Amino acid sequence: MSARGTGLALAALALGALPRIAVAQANAPGAVAAYAGVEARGVNFASGLGVKSVSEFAIPFAVTWSASPRLAFDLGGRYASATRTDSLGSSSLAGLTDIQLRGVYQLVPDIAVFTVSANLPTGKARYTPDELLVAGAIASDLLPYPVANFSSGFNLTSGVALAVPVGGWALGLAGSYRLNGNFTPLADTSASYKAGGEFRLRVGADKILGQSRLSLGFTYSSFGEDQFASSPIFQSGRRYITQLSWAFPIGNVGLTVYAWDLYRAAGSQLISGGILTPKRNVFTAGAAGSVQIGPSVLRPVIEFRSFTLGTSQLAGAGGLLSLAARYEFPVGGRFTLLPSVGFDSGHENVLAADGNPSAQSVSLTGWRAGLMVRTHM
């Protein structure tokens, strides 16, 4: 395994153990890169769920700076506006999201990385009852909206990732801990909410097989108790994420097939005597192509997502088939334009009074589009 292969695996481990930031760090010392644009998603539902449509428009922005061969920083955030429509009318939620600031330092190049990330509470946090309906709609397990959460208060995450070559594989281990601060989520009360701390452990393996690349990963997360008005209110269930991807060429076309599974164990409502919330599972499988067209690249994607949940056993709660494409083409020497478009078709099951999925299925259709600009200096 080459040093570059180990370095790629190390970067994947480090980023996988920490909160997501929109743009990866730049590589060349002194390099600055920026990323901004617009993205939108709309979903229409057939009758039965109590909601007719949910749409969201977002403006992402990010900047990265490689201060030295070992030290890099990046910063990212979004402005977003979301709308939920039902038979009674529409409700909206708009504002800046939290901004994430991260620093990455290579303790030992291509072997050990230390990362620290801060979530700055710049986002809209205090919601009215109508805004809470919108916030709940975009925080969907089945439908990935551009922004799923406007604010979670200040938090600080630090982690270490290690990767070593073993028998042609790059094997790695990464761990992180997130410490959360207080924030006030409701407009009609001054009571504060504090999410429990999160410990995350990730293991991964990466191997070059001729012209192909195989990557495996597993992430485990556990959480402390959430508090509301300084009293324990909720205990999140543990989470387990399994990932697999295989990238290989077919002629002049690059193809990546991938799958991941997120299982979230039942949580406990401490304020209600320990009542368990349903456990959840999201399974996703897809294929992404890469077609070189002169200096440009076309990236089509097909993806299927299955959502299950239940208190005693998992049952089907929804499914989604997505077709999308992104086109990357350079403009001048420093800019790259990335237009994208996508279409969704699926269904979501109506929940019964006990919180389990019923047999009633509601169809949905959706669209998404975006135009991003990436530049480097």
- The total domain count for the chain is 1
For residue 133, give the 3-state DSSP assignment: helix
Mean pLDDT in runs of 10 for the chain (377 residues)?
Answer: 52 49 52 94 94 96 93 95 94 95 91 93 88 93 93 92 88 94 82 91 92 94 91 93 96 94 93 82 97 94 97 93 97 92 97 89 97 91
Q: 108 vs 56, 177, 201, 239, 267, CA distance in Å?
A: 42, 21, 20, 30, 39
Q: Could you give the CA distance from residue 235 to residue 269 in angstroms, rounded to a whole number?
A: 7
Amino acid at 258: Y
For residue 289, give the 3-state DSSP assignment: strand
Q: What is the CATH number of the domain that holds 233?
A: 2.40.160
Q: Structural domain of residue 361, as residue ranges?
A: 3-376
pTM: 0.89
Question: Which among 257, 223, 259, 225 is positioned nearest to 242, based on CA atoms?
Answer: 259
φ, ψ of residue 15 to 5 degrees: the values are -70, -35
Beta strands 198-209 and 193-194, pairing class: unpaired
Question: Which among 121, 117, 153, 135 is positioned nearest to 22, based on CA atoms?
Answer: 117
Q: For residue 280, what pLDDT is reported? A: 95
Q: For residue 138, what pLDDT is reported? A: 95
Q: For residue 18, what pLDDT is reported? A: 45
